[in-house]
Chains A and B, each alone.
Chain A
Amino acid sequence: MDLLESYPLLQTIAERYNTWAVILLMVSGLYIVVAKSNMIKTLIGMALFQTSVYLLYLSPGKIIGATPPITDTAFAVYSNPLPHVLILTAIVVGVATLAMGLALIVRINEAYGSIEEDEVVDLVDRQDKAEE
């Protein structure tokens, strides 16, 4: 702790460790989406990217030492429930998207015999050219 106290910048960085986690996940997720040709990996990157946003919502909602917001005389500090509800919805959306994406990949694999986006797009282009 001494180290942190003597270097305020370091402390600022350390205090926002949740944000750093978000940024790391977000950037790696986005990178995977952009860089990977394998469609499954792309979807994994996409899921990672979404997860980072879940964290962005959730982490400020947690108050250390607080309880779920069910009114009781024994407790005074409650966590904000709203982010949880929101992110529960977002997770459902994410699952649905992932299922949809995977389903499409299965169909693409059946139609093109590959799940490498480069190869598939190549076949698509060839079909385009053949039509013209």
Chain B
Amino acid sequence: MRLDVILRVSAKLMIPFIMLFAIYVQFHGHYSPGGGFQAGVIAAAAVILYAIVFGMREAQRVVPPGVVEAMVPLGVVIYAGTGVLNMISGGHYLDYDFLLADPVQGQYWGVFVVEVGVLVTVAGAMVTIFYAFAMRGRS
């Protein structure tokens, strides 16, 4: 056990709130500045903080590299998939009017899903970049 108790305890306190803030920024992106990109970066920051404080091995046990690497393309698939769904229902690419029967609902849910895609990709990309650099030369 190393002598960084303060760091560990405060990190344990902060990380849930950072995650929560990420989710807030994500969902509130409809009404105020924010959205998937910012939320993704914040969420990634939480993981990176965890890795810095508790070590790479611990962090990779919680958030395995395979998962984050898969998140990068997965988010884009969610994003682009929504666009393709619109096209299938007869709209332009990413024209959410056609996503659901009611265009207003379509816009709402369309943007929501797309932003989730952005969150997944950005968080995944940020953590992947961190892992890639931090693990270089160790394995």
Whether chain A touches chain B in the assembled complex (some CB pair under 8 Å): yes
* C-alpha gap A99/B126 in the complex (Å): 10
Closest residue of chain A to B137 (Cβ to Cβ) is: A110
* C-alpha gap A99/B137 in the complex (Å): 17
Residues facing B in A88-112 (CB within 8 A) are: 88, 92, 99, 102-103, 106, 110
User: Is A99 within 8 A of B129, CB to CB?
Assistant: yes
Within the complex, the shortest CB–CB distance from B55 to chain A, in Å, comes to: 21
Enumerate chain A residues within 8 angstroms of B31, measured Cβ to Cβ: 70
Partner of B132, one of A68, A88, A103: A103
Within the complex, the shortest CB–CB distance from A37 to chain B, in Å, comes to: 22
Q: Could you tell me how many residues of chain B have their Cβ less than 8 Å away from some Cβ of chain A? A: 9
Per-residue interface assignment for chain A, residues 57 to 69, with 1 indicating a CB less than 8 Å from any chain B CB and 0 otherwise: 0000000000010
* C-alpha gap A88/B109 in the complex (Å): 22
User: Is B33 within 8 A of A88, CB to CB?
Assistant: no
User: Is B37 within 8 A of A106, CB to CB?
Assistant: no
Enumerate chain B residues within 8 angstroms of A88, measured Cβ to Cβ: 37
Per-residue interface assignment for chain B, residues 123 to 139, with 1 indicating a CB less than 8 Å from any chain A CB and 0 otherwise: 00000010011001100
The residues of B with any CB-CB pair to A shorter than 8 Å are 31-33, 37, 129, 132-133, 136-137
